[in-house]
Amino acid sequence: MDVTIFDTEVTIDESLVEESPDEIRTQVGEYESGERTRFDLTVRYPDSYTGRVMQAMAEIPYGEVKTYGEVAAGIDSGARAVGSACARNPVPLVVPCHRIVRHDGIGNFAYPGLKEQLLALEGAEV
């Protein structure tokens, strides 16, 4: 399913979220308007490396960032592997891959310009 946030269409694999597409859209809208700082959605994490990285991403609080290296250290992995897993995140926004940044700046994101907007919305210091 696609959701729109800051005029950008983001694809979310709704098969990994227990709640309905309407509920996902409602919560994304509340997040965009600043009414919501945490998604109250049940995510089924894949039984894979990407799933492990997703679980680590989900633990990063609203308004905070971690580097790829910090996340990697927490799961006994490498920064590049974490970056690759972030790129494969099937439920962006809901599982906040935008909160993982390079040690020397923002880093890449599947939706150009959106990572900066999301971090600014959250008041995150990069």
- Catalogue the active-site residues: 97
> What residues contact residue 60 under an 8 Å CB cut-off, 6+ apart?
66, 96, 99, 100
Query: Which amino acid would we find at residue 90?
Result: P
Helix (H, G, I), strand (E, B) or coil at 9: strand
Helix (H, G, I), strand (E, B) or coil at 22: helix
Up-side HSE of residue 2: CA atoms within 13 Å toward CB? Answer: 6
